[in-house]
Amino acid sequence: MSDSATAAAPPQPFGRRLKRLMSDQPLIPLILLLVALVVALQIMRPGIVNPAWIATTIKFAIPLAIFAGCQTMAMLTGGIDLSVGTVATMAAFIVATQGVYHDPAVAIAIALTPALVIGLANGIGIGVFRVHPLIMTLGTGLIGTGVLQVYQRTVIATGTAVPPGLAWLGTGLTWGIPNALLLFIPVAGFILFLLNRTGFGRLLYAVGDNERAAKLSGVQYWQVILVLYVLCSLLAGIVGLLYIGLIKSASLSLAEPLVLPSVAAAVIGGTSIFGGRGGYLGSIVGALILRVLITLLTILQMPEGARQILFGVIVLGVTAAYLRIIEDR
């Protein structure tokens, strides 16, 4: 056997091997970034990273992470759901006001009814009438906001009552662990199982990767989209129930500030806005990154406007860098 045949291949440069590793394991750069942000936070404010801070960060990251799950599933099909903020706000406001008159179970059922209605409207509009998801979900979100304002006028004198179970779930700790994890772990497990182990999850990827080919193979597009957006709305309603327990104050814009960050968390996590590529684990890490980043910018004591600008620039930079890494896969 010749020396050329037995000679070992020349080793690749370390930088190329590192980039290949990160490309093959896309969660690695996200986790490294999260760790780097936590370390920076500890350096800037020694002692801040403690069990209490970790618990608080997790509590506020969970609603964002569930929203990011909705966006991940919608974006896998090439869509988006901008109505989730309105749905969550409606569920939170309704459960707080209906809790004055009804048992918690009844109040929760009433609160989730608008979520089902908006989900059906989104699914029919997008799947049957082929309205663009951005336009459809923006429209139903605006309509929902208007309905909520009308509803507020009818109950303005009744006050609010957050069900004790939701308050326990939103703010409570058990042995230092947020009770909200009792809700998030099953929800996250359900989304991961749905995407990775079911035919419906494969259909979401197939529709986003090539809608025409999926239809030719017999996929009923409108049915997939209908189930998808109903599921997203119901998950958003659950976020509203959790969030009212966390904030304990009903408002007409309670969950709206989470909508665009949830899209950012999904994109940072590697989900393509063009569909067909992504996963929920990355979105969860993306939500944690955004929460830590918000804490970091708050410590800098920057004016709100400057903080928002810097937050946007950092999100764009992180997303661009991450997508550059995984594009080589």
The model's pLDDT over 143-199, given as tens digits with 9 standing for 90+, comes to: 999 999 999 988 876 778 889 999 999 999 999 899 999 999 999 999 999 999 999
DSSP count for the chain of H helices, then E strands:
15, 2
In the numeric block, which tokens belong to residue 246? 């966390």
Helices marked H in 77-132: 84-98, 104-127
DSSP string, 46-68: TT--SHHHHHHHHHHHHHHHHHH
CA gap 84, 196 in Å, rounded: 23
Please give the DSSP secondary-structure letter assigned to residue 321.
H
Into how many domains does the chain fold?
A: 1
Q: Is residue 10 part of a domain?
A: no
Q: Is residue 94 part of a domain?
A: yes
Q: Is residue 2 part of a domain?
A: no
CA gap 329, 21 in Å, rounded: 10
Q: Is residue 16 part of a domain?
A: no
In the numeric block, which tokens belong to residue 128? 């049957």
CA gap 156, 205 in Å, rounded: 45
- One-letter amino acid identity for 325? I
In the numeric block, which tokens belong to residue 296? 């970091």
Q: What is the CATH number of the domain that holds 312?
A: 1.10.3470
* Mean pLDDT to the nearest integer, 286-307: 85
Residues 6+ apart with CB under 8 A from 45: 299
Q: How many CA atoms does the CB half-sphere of 150 hold within 13 Å?
A: 6
Helix (H) or strand (E) holding 173: strand 173-174
The model's pLDDT over 278-296, given as tens digits with 9 standing for 90+, comes to: 999 999 999 999 999 888 8
CA gap 264, 311 in Å, rounded: 11
Q: Is residue 279 part of a domain?
A: yes
Q: Do 89 and 240 touch, CB atoms closer than 8 A?
A: yes
| Of the candidate ranges 16-30, 193-207, 234-248, the one whose mean pLDDT is the lowest | 16-30
The answer to whether residue 11 scores a pLDDT higher than 70 is no
- The residue segments making up the domain with residue 154 are 49-326
In the chain, the largest separation of any two C-alpha atoms, in whole Å, equals 91
| Cα dihedral across residues 284, 289, 290, 294: positive or negative | positive
| Cα dihedral across residues 130, 134, 137, 140: positive or negative | negative
* Rounded percentage of the chain residues whose pLDDT exceeds 90: 63
Q: Is residue 103 part of a domain?
A: yes
pLDDT at 301: 80
Q: Is residue 30 part of a domain?
A: no
CA gap 290, 312 in Å, rounded: 11
Question: Mean pLDDT across the chain, nearest whole number?
Answer: 88
pTM of this structure: 0.90
CA gap 65, 71 in Å, rounded: 10
Q: Which residues pair with 29 in a beta bridge?
A: none
The answer to whether residue 318 scores a pLDDT higher than 60 is yes
Residue listed under structure tokens 């004790």: 164
Q: Do 236 and 84 touch, CB atoms closer than 8 A?
A: yes
Q: Is residue 12 part of a domain?
A: no
Q: Do 277 and 293 touch, CB atoms closer than 8 A?
A: no
